[in-house]
Structure 1
């Protein structure tokens, strides 16, 4: 049996309840290791671009003060850092204008923010399935 090390993940959401729920959810799944959680996009940018602490996955809320999710993704992408990091932007409403800017970027995916307990529990599986499809490899 082949053992896989967990995928490291940053969680960024300005809503403390959402952040704590997501952190709890991903910490309960052995395929993930939460290595950072943030309440602002600025903190994420500092962690990745200044401290060079780069997870496998960034799960970031679209609408946050100061720097929103796509602004963070843009800064990281333009920097050339974290080129392989998978970026999942979540929001209760998908902004198709923003989504279309990343249509050709295989490392950026927009997801509807879970609103029910069933959807919340499905989120890690959705992320794993998306990675499987993108990489065409078993995670």
Structure 2
């Protein structure tokens, strides 16, 4: 059996984390979503030897360490420099989108309020960036 798709979601909102996990499981049943409630917890996980998720999803607005700060730190971890990091934020502000890309975001998704919208966006991301999909082999 193939290895599961390993995903890290960095988001301080417990409802958003739960919805993300449920939607991701419905799109990709062989995915495993791990989460972190802020940038510090995420970096603790990401700096461990052997912990390299296939995809990282990152919220911008978090306490203690915001998403841009976390993204810059992720990009300093050598084995993660080319790993897809997708910003998942409520902000549609072009300044936030531009700053995220400048900091190293692979892509940027504006969080929707409806499950179907979230599902559509996540399915598109998986199709585009899943390292195990046929388009990436």
The TM-score range, normalised by the shorter chain, is 0.7 to 0.9
What SS does the corresponding residue of 2:7 show, helix, strand or coil? strand
Q: What residue number does 2:117 align with?
A: 119
* Structure 2 runs not aligned, ≥5 long: none
Say how many residue pairs are matched. 135
- What is the CA–CA distance in structure 2 between the aligned matches of 1:28 and 1:66, rounded to whole Å? 31
Please tell me whether the aligned partners of residues 27 and 119 of structure 2 are also in contact (alpha carbons under 8 angstroms): no
Identify which of 22, 27, 30 aligns with 1:29. 27
Counterparts in 2 of 1:35 and 1:121: CA distance versus 1, 3 Å:
closer
Range 80-89 or range 123-132, more displaced? 123-132
Counterparts in 2 of 1:44 and 1:51: CA distance versus 1, 3 Å:
farther
1:7 offset after TM fit, Å?
2.5
Q: What residue number does 1:12 align with?
A: 10
Please tell me whether the aligned partners of residues 60 and 90 of structure 1 are also in contact (alpha carbons under 8 angstroms): yes
Deviation per CA, 1:10-35: give whole Å up to 9, x if none: 11211111111111111233365224
Please tell me whether the aligned partners of residues 94 and 110 of structure 1 are also in contact (alpha carbons under 8 angstroms): no
1:82 offset after TM fit, Å?
1.0
1:53 offset after TM fit, Å?
1.1
Deviation per CA, 1:15-65: give whole Å up to 9, x if none: 111111111111233365224111111111111124551101011111111
- What is the CA–CA distance in structure 1 between the aligned matches of 2:69 and 2:32, rounded to whole Å? 22
RMSD, aligned α-carbons: 2.9
Deviation per CA, 1:96-130: give whole Å up to 9, x if none: 33433454788621111121122022132121233
* Structure 1 runs not aligned, ≥5 long: none
Q: What residue number does 1:46 align with?
A: 44
Counterparts in 2 of 1:89 and 1:131: CA distance versus 1, 3 Å:
same
What SS does the corresponding residue of 1:59 show, helix, strand or coil? strand
